[in-house]
Each structure stands twice: as C-alpha cells, then as structure tokens.
Amino acid sequence: MTAYQHLERRFARIAAIGNAMGILGWDMQTMMPEGAADSRAEQTATLSVLAHELETAPEVGDWLAGAEEDGGLDGWQAANLREMRRSYTHATALPADLVEALSKATSACEMTWRSARAESDYAKLLPSLREVLRLVREAAQAKGEAMGIAPYDALLDEHDPGARAARIDAVFDDLAGFLPGLIQRVLDKQAAEPPVLRPEGPFPVDRQRALGERLMRAAGFDFTRGRLDVSLHPFCGGADDDVRITTRYDEADFTKALMGVLHETGHALYEQGRPKAWRRQPVGQARGMAAHESQSLIVEMQAARSPEFIGWLAPVAADAFGGTGPAWDPDNLRRLYTRVERGFIRVDADEVTYPAHVILRYRLEKQLVAGTLDLADLPDAWSAGMAELVGVTPPNDRLGCLQDIHWPGGGWGYFPTYTLGAMTAAQLFDAACKAETEVKPALARGDFAPLAGWLRANVHEKGCKPASADDLLTEATGRPLDAAVFKRHLETRYLGV
C-alpha cells in the first residue's frame, strides 16, 4: 500500500470509533439508566484514548510526509490529505500531560459552574475558571506555534478551520455598529402593531411529535437513516447513516419544540447529505461549526420562519391541535415567531438580538486569552457590553457571565460560530432563492425540496473539499461572507424594508 492508502485505512478506523462514541453519547442523553454513568464514562474515555493513539502514532507522521512527497492524488484525495494533516497537527500539538490537565480542570470547573450559576456566585467559580484559562492559554500557544498562527486563531481553528480573528473582527464590528439601532427600530415598529396572541393549549406531546415528524419529512429527513427522540437539551448526534436528533416538549407551548425540531433537522440534513464515498474520511466531514450552524438556521430561521412557510403552517398546526380563533391566524403566528425583545439570556434571544450576545462573548474571550482583561473584572465588563450592545444590564451574575457552560467546559473560540452561521445561512438562502425560483413558492406549500436540493449540491455534498467556510460560501454564492446580506435580511423581515 502507498502512504496515502495507509492513511485512508487509519482514518477510517478512527471514524468508526467516532461513530461508536456518537451512539453511546446519544444513548447517554436519551435513555441510559442513571446507574450506568460511571461505566459509560469509562467506555467513552477508553474509545477516546484509542482514537487519539491511532491518530498520533509515529507512523502517521511518516505516512503524511510520504503522501505529501509522492503527490499524484486527485482533487478529493488531495483535499483529504490536507484535512488529515490539519487534524494531525491539532492532535499532536499538545503534550499528553497538558491534555490530561485540561480534561481534569474543565471537569472540575463544570461541576463548580453548576453550583455557582445556581447561587449566582461568580466568586465561587473564579479560582477554577482561572485555572482553566491558564491551561487554555498554554494550549493555544502550543497550537499556534505548531500551525504558525496566533494563539487565539488556533482556538478558532479548532471549531472552524481557517477562521481568523482579523476577519471576524471586521464582520462583527460592522454588525455591532448596526444592531443597537436596528433593535430599537424593530421594537418601535412592534409597539405600534396589535399585541401578539399565543395559541392556548394544552398541546399533547403525541400530536406535537406527529407534526414535528411531518415537517422533518417535508424538509427531507430520511427516517431510514435517523430518528427523533427526547432529551433535556435538544441536539443532533449519532453516526454515519444513523443520525439521531432530539427535542423537548412543553404541553403549554408547541412553538418552541416545533422550531427546535426544525433546527436540529437542519443539522441532520447536513449529516445525511455528506458525500457518501468520503463519510469515513476527514474530507467527508462538515466544513466546520459555522457551516453546520448555517444549515440548522437556514431551515429554522430562513425557511421555517418565512412568511411563505408560516402561511402554510398556520392552518396545518391549527388542524393538528384543534385550534381556532385569531391566535391561529397566519399573520399572528408570523409575528409570534419573529417577536423581538431585549433579554439577558443568549439561548432565549431572538434572531435580531442574538448576534449582539455572541459579539459580546467573542470580544471578552479574546481579551481574556490575550490577558488584557482579568477574569476578576469579567462581570463588570459583561454588564457594560450588554448595556452597549443589547440595551439591558444584568441584575446578577446568573443572568450575566455565569449563564454559559462554554468557558468552564473549555469551549474557547466557539462562540463566533453561532453568528457566523446565521450570516452564512442568510447568504446561502439568498443565493438559493436566486438560483432556484421555486424555493419560496414551494415553502408556501410546505415543500422544502427545491431548497434542500440546492443545499445538498452546494453545501452538503462538498464535505471539506473547500479549504475553509469562506471557500465553501464563495463556491456556493459567488462571494465570501458578506455582512450586508444578513443586515438586509433582518431589515426586510423585521422592518419591511
């Protein structure tokens, strides 16, 4: 076998371990008995170590060097080799003792965060969070040196290959100058409209599930290669050709679960649509978390909250739940699904205010990693940023800097992907509607097929062949990420501009 063939065989084995871990993780969050937690932790830790050892073994470095020297690869193989090298560089950049120290520190910090958040006691979290940040800086420095990039860029690259702070700064600064004024204009417009009515329940779970599954099928979800279940926190996981999504139900409010199902369906369509011949290779994976988030948001935000789709959904939902009256009117349901409010909590934020929450976190974590902001000063910096960007000041740390698990859990450099994904979704939807004139008319019939087909060809089946999310977006839309498209979408939807 050639060096490249050895690599393909090795990475296929690593992918198979990842698939097994995906199913174990799904089971843990949906149906595993509580008493199995310790055993499951040992199983997943063992598989994780095996995968890491397979990837970082000395022969892998030799094979990479040999394959890069041999050449003679086609386009997909060359892109696969590039992605193998990137993954190998990330995996080998950190010494084993630092990986172990980070794992222990984040586990301890997560546990402390749970109680500190419940008690709104940032001081309780500070010592363990300080240790996590110290180790994150050390890891960022090591990865940055290995990749020849800045430490914070190395953290970004873990989640979104090719992402760099200089590029994100320009895009986010543009948005930050635009959002506060937009939020106020939207709130003024809403204040002049009739009050939004909420459909009254109860909404039985079995009917919610049936409606959710109907919409999943309409979006293109293949139930022969996936399923829908219930968990405390909705997610998309599983394995190749076995994509598991979850939601949670509230019998007093069907709207959240329904959009949650559509959000996770967007993720699932990406997973089900990845290039079949390359699914067990690095090049066959999704092109980073911003691209993945764009696929959930193009289904939930761009398509399912569009006036065309809600015009179809309103009578279908009313029929499903036996609803009558003005609360079920399409215009009322549209205004309910596009309601804008200033709030403290990111995960509860609407499409207009959400990017402001993300920009704040991005700016703060950049300063924390660089050492220009001390963790002791985080609560005050958070409050000042919320006042500037969202227009509210958190009354306590539970509603402020203690609300997210990302930093205690070691997820530094991840926050930007949420808003980069929203912007990417807007740009892809705009391009899809221009390329396929049936996209919106079909949504008005509850049919996602034209949109799903365009995404399959222009995003899902591309895998990681494009070198970065910007390259993927340029191939699909003719230009890299452009904040103007997202801004125009928000003004059109929320102001009628």
- Give me the half-sphere count of Cα atoms (radius 13 Å) on the Cβ side of residue 351: 28
Closest by CA to 334, choosing from 351, 347, 319, is 351
Q: Verify whether residue 300 is a known catalytic residue.
A: no
CB-count exposure of residue 455 (10 Å: 0-12, 13-18, 19+): buried
Task: Return the structure tokens found at 484.
Answer: 């103007």
Asked if 96 contacts 139 with a C-beta cutoff of 8 angstroms, the reply is: no
Catalytic residue among 8, 55, 264, 300: 264
End-to-end Cα spacing for the chain: 61
Q: What is the rounded distance in angstroms from the CA atom of residue 284 to the CA atom of residue 302? A: 26
What gap in Å lies between CA 51 and CA 11, rounded to an integer? Answer: 9
User: What is d(CA 444, CA 200) in angstroms, rounded to the nearest whole number?
Assistant: 25
* 172, 362 Cβ separation under 8 angstroms: yes
| Sheet containing 242-247: order of strands | 226-230, 242-247, 236-239
Given a contact cutoff of 8 angstroms between Cβ atoms, the answer to whether 76 and 283 are in contact is yes
C-alpha angle 274-275-277 in degrees, rounded to nearest 5:
140
CA distance 178 to 311: 30
Query: What are residue 246's DSSP bridge partners?
Result: 229
- Check: CB of residue 422 under 8 Å from CB of residue 351: yes
Q: What residue type is 88 in one-letter code?
A: Y
Give the residue numbers annotated as catalytic, written as ranges: 264
